[in-house]
């Protein structure tokens, strides 16, 4: 396994900030319901990052990234201000990782970013996952993280709006998940 500390500081910053920025970007993809959805989506984002940091069985590298993202909480507002250019930064991250980690870690990093985006997209609506103090609602999310991710989920959630669905497709294209 490669050490995250071996990366150049700007590469490390890109990889560590991207999980949070992807969640914020997804939250902004469909911003029609006022502040209630934003609060729920940010809670879902923080919760999914904590889950990844604790239980990512497939990739110690991805787990380390998630832990560093959480440790960088004091940077979250700054990262949120730079969430508009996530797609280009996803392409940069894939290019960096292709030269740095094995194929499985690259695939897991990309799948994790997709799962973060999907979790945020699913967090508001009739299937909302975040309630204050609710840790049990994320069991299915954790199961997805530790398993293999399909390219297209047959059980597409009904509470993902067309704008969010479009954003997920654009994110998948930027990450080149079809190459996995």
pLDDT value of residue 40: 86
Q: Is residue 25 part of a domain?
A: yes
Q: Is residue 4 part of a domain?
A: no
Q: Is residue 100 part of a domain?
A: yes
Q: What is the pTM of this model?
A: 0.80
Q: Is residue 3 part of a domain?
A: no
pLDDT value of residue 4: 84
pLDDT value of residue 158: 56
Q: Is residue 21 part of a domain?
A: yes
pLDDT value of residue 86: 96
pLDDT value of residue 9: 95
DSSP the chain: ---GGGS-HHHHHHHHHHHHHHHHHHHHHS--STHHHHHHHHHHHHHHHHHHHHH--S-HHHHHHHHHHHHTGGGHHHHHHTGGGHHHHHHHHHHHHHTTS-HHHHHHHHHHHHHHHHHHHHTSSTT----TT--GGGHHHHHHHHSPPPSS-TT--TTS-HHHHHHHHHHHHHHTGGG-
Structural domain harbouring 137: 9-179
pLDDT value of residue 89: 97
Number of structural domains the chain divides into: 1
Give the whole-angstrom CA distance, residue 169 versus residue 125: 20
Average pLDDT per block of 10 residues along the chain, 180 residues long: 79 97 92 72 91 78 93 96 94 95 93 94 58 45 44 53 92 89
């Amino acid at each position: 396994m490669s050490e995250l500390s071996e990366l150049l500081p700007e590469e490390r910053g890109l990889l560590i900030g991207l999980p949070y920025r992807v969640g914020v970007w997804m939250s902004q993809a469909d911003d029609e319901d006022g502040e209630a959805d934003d609060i729920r989506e940010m809670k879902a984002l923080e919760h999914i990052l904590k889950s990844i940091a604790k239980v990512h069985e497939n990739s110690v590298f991805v787990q380390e990234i998630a832990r560093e993202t959480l440790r960088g909480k004091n940077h979250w507002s700054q990262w949120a201000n730079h969430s508009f250019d996530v797609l280009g930064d996803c392409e940069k991250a894939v290019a960096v990782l292709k030269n740095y980690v094995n194929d499985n870690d690259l695939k897991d990093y990309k799948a994790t970013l997709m799962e973060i985006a999907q979790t945020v997209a699913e967090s508001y609506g009739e299937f909302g996952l975040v309630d204050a103090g609710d840790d049990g609602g994320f069991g299915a999310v954790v199961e997805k993280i530790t398993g293999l991710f399909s390219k297209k989920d047959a059980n597409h959630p009904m509470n993902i709006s067309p704008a969010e669905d479009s954003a997920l497709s654009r994110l998948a294209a930027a990450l080149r998940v079809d190459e996995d």
